[in-house]
Amino acid sequence: MTTSPAAWAGADPYATALRAGRGPLFLRRTDGWLLPLDVERWCAHADPVDLDVLDRCEGAVLDVGCGPGRLVAALAARGRTGLGIDVSETAVHSAVGLGGEALRRSVFDPLPGEGLWGTVLLMDGSIGIGGDPRVLLDRVAALLCPGGLLIAETAAVDIDERVEVQVVDVFDSPGSDGTFPWARLGTPALLRLARPKRWTSVGQWISGGRCFAALRSRRASSSAEPAKSTAVISSHRVRKPSGDSPVPIR
């Protein structure tokens, strides 16, 4: 499985929408079908649904595909240890500007704190990153501490779709470049994929019309970190985000 972070990161409509704080913005399949992207919500402050998700997090939190950073900013405001990663330089600059910790990275790149994170978040469709959820689940398991928690936002319908998409606005022509693999999963499909990999379902809920699932890592052991504690991870704000900017771990 190969990923195409440059395709998303280099998608000018995405960067333009984040700078403006509004859409329209879509993921378009090769057959022309459009999935609207909720740019306004992503660029706003964390809402009650988001805050409920953060209340469920354990230990240090890694927000994969953090976008413009409302969740990592909310974590920082609460004094929680958290880090966002995103392949978009514009998104990372926004997250840092809001007071969050963020790095320009793909989830498949080497990351700080591998095997130490208490919770990994896959929000706002990030379960689709890379186009192969099985591979993404394996990667998340390697990032989590023993018995760590994955909280994923899922599609509102029972779907298991693997497609090629591109980021477009209403002014883009159908022939534009920059397609990359993506996936859409409902909660039942996510659980079907997770069970053979020995993830344990620990919660499912719907809030504000959005669907979520919580799963416990297959690497659970007696040494698992207690809920709500903070892993020994120290992250420093990136003033000028780049793929080479490290987050020290002590």
CA 32 to mean position of chain CA atoms:
25
pLDDT > 90 in the chain, percent: 78
- The set of long-range contacts for 28-31, using a CB threshold of 8 Å and a minimum separation of 24, is 28/165, 28/166, 28/167, 28/168, 28/172, 28/174, 29/163, 29/164, 29/165, 30/163, 30/164, 30/165, 30/179
**Whether residue 2 has pLDDT greater than 60:** no
Could you tell me the pTM of the whole model? 0.85
- Residue range 15-32, pLDDT digits in tens: 999 999 999 999 999 999
**Whether residue 7 has pLDDT greater than 90:** no
Q: Tell me, what's the pLDDT at 178?
A: 79
- Residue range 169-223, pLDDT digits in tens: 986 655 455 799 999 999 999 999 999 999 999 999 999 999 999 999 976 543 3
Confidence of residue 110 (pLDDT cuts 50, 70, 90): very high
- Residue range 150-165, pLDDT digits in tens: 999 999 999 999 999 9
* Percent of the chain as helix, strand, coil, to the nearest 5: 30, 25, 45
Task: Collect all residues with Cβ–Cβ distance below 8 Å to 33 and sequence separation of at least 6.
Answer: none
Q: What is the DSSP string of 228-243?
A: T---S------SS--T
Of 45, 40, 35, the closest CA to residue 18 belongs to 40
**Domain 46-161+182-216, CATH number (from 3.40.50.1000, 3.40.50.150, 3.20.20.60, 3.40.50.720):** 3.40.50.150
Q: Tell me, what's the pLDDT at 170?
A: 81
pLDDT > 70 in the chain, percent: 80
Instruction: Kindly give the pairing relationship between strand 200-207 and strand 180-185.
Output: unpaired
Q: What is the DSSP string of 90-153?
A: HHHHHHHHTT--EEE--TTS--TTTTTEEEEEE-TTGGGGGG-HHHHHHHHHHHEEEEEEEEEE
CA distance 11 to 6: 8
Confidence of residue 120 (pLDDT cuts 50, 70, 90): very high
The 8-class DSSP code of residue 20 comes to: H
Average pLDDT of the residues in 233-245: 39
